[in-house]
Amino acid sequence: MNLYSINAGNFKLDGGAMFGVVPKTIWNKLLPADENNLCGLAMRCLLIEEEGRLILVDTGMGDKQEPKFFSHYHLFGTDSLDVNLAKHGFNKNDITDVVFTHLHFDHCGGAIIKQDDALVTAFPNAKFWSNQLHWQWAINPNAREKASFLKENILPIQACGQLHFIDTTTTEISNNLLASTHSAIIDNLSFRFANGHTKAMMLPQMQYKGRTVVFAADLLPTVAHIPMPYVMGYDMFPLVTLTEKQSFFNEAVENEYIIILQHDLINECCTLHNTEKGIRAKEIFKLSDL
């Protein structure tokens, strides 16, 4: 297996929204905001090369929206999905599978492009993977989450005929983060499920160079979110997130998991350990350094 960190671009979000009830005087020391209270974030994706498959986990937000949309998210830098796939010798036509951790626009928007005023797939040779529970949650969004589930990103995934669902018939995913299911994509890939940020978010887990690697998606967006109370205002069920963090972090400490951080602009991966202040980052490193 080969794993590649693929940054689909950088954007900015309101710092208060990123840290919920934690005061700015505290979180700003960990993830400094600009003069407009905006924090710089990455849209880091994961590329998995294994068993003749090339699996992309998430796609960033893409570029098909109107300028007004992007004015809210302040894209910056030169990173893009195409540029960083090419650095490893790949392009979108090579992708055999696209896994969506969840269907918020900054995770799935890059899967659909606008072509001659039509919305079409950006990955013509790929199967798209979600799960039934999350799909139903996304296409029937609640009022608070509606701005994150954009129909132009989601409905064309099904319309293009490439949508598939992970089989969760033997897995309880509604209330149990520790539940996991094999992907049926490749043998060395399973999914954990988290429900605090959004319903049935999928966290890919695999064995790599003798270590367990977990792509944490929005359960742990940055190193700055490791302390237990540091929960995003975007999370639908913050108390569930707290429970999920505690459970997963304890397991990650005990088993020395490598956690890939999707939104941390600087830090790609970390491990965790117990300290006098609670669980904190132990090692911080790039995926390519493993």
* CA atoms within 13 Å, Cβ hemisphere of 83: 10
Identify whether the C-beta of residue 98 lies closer than 8 Å to the C-beta of residue 111.
Answer: yes
Residues 6+ apart with CB under 8 A from 146: none
pLDDT band at residue 117 using 50, 70 and 90 as cut-offs: confident
Q: Using CA atoms, how far apart are residues 214 and 269, in angstroms rounded to an integer?
A: 10
* Integer CA distances (angstroms), 7 to 62, 122, 282, in order: 12, 17, 23
> Average pLDDT in the 38-43 region?
97
Q: Domains in the chain, ordered, with CATH?
A: 2-289 (3.60.15.10)
Does the pLDDT at position 221 exceed 90?
yes
Question: Nearest-CA neighbor of 93 among 125, 56, 139?
Answer: 125
Question: Nearest-CA neighbor of 98 among 71, 72, 124?
Answer: 124
Q: What's the burial of 142, exposed, middle or buried (CB within 10 Å: 0-12/13-18/19+)?
A: exposed
Q: How far is CA 241 from the centre of its chain?
A: 15
pLDDT given for residue 51 in this prediction: 84
> Average pLDDT in the 201-219 region?
96
Does the pLDDT at position 178 exceed 80?
no
pTM attached to this predicted model: 0.94
> Average pLDDT in the 233-246 region?
96
pLDDT given for residue 184 in this prediction: 77
Share of the chain above pLDDT 70, in %: 95
Identify whether the C-beta of residue 182 lies closer than 8 Å to the C-beta of residue 190.
Answer: yes
pLDDT band at residue 173 using 50, 70 and 90 as cut-offs: low
* Integer CA distances (angstroms), 102 to 153, 223, 266, in order: 12, 20, 23
Share of the chain above pLDDT 90, in %: 88
Q: What's the burial of 178, exposed, middle or buried (CB within 10 Å: 0-12/13-18/19+)?
A: exposed
Question: Nearest-CA neighbor of 198 among 252, 247, 139, 155?
Answer: 139
Does the pLDDT at position 112 exceed 90?
yes
pLDDT given for residue 200 in this prediction: 93
Backbone φ and ψ of 62, nearest 5° = 75, -170
Identify whether the C-beta of residue 212 lies closer than 8 Å to the C-beta of residue 290.
Answer: no
The radius of gyration of the chain from alpha carbons, rounded to an integer in Å, stands at 18
Q: Using CA atoms, how far apart are residues 265 and 287, in angstroms rounded to an integer?
A: 14
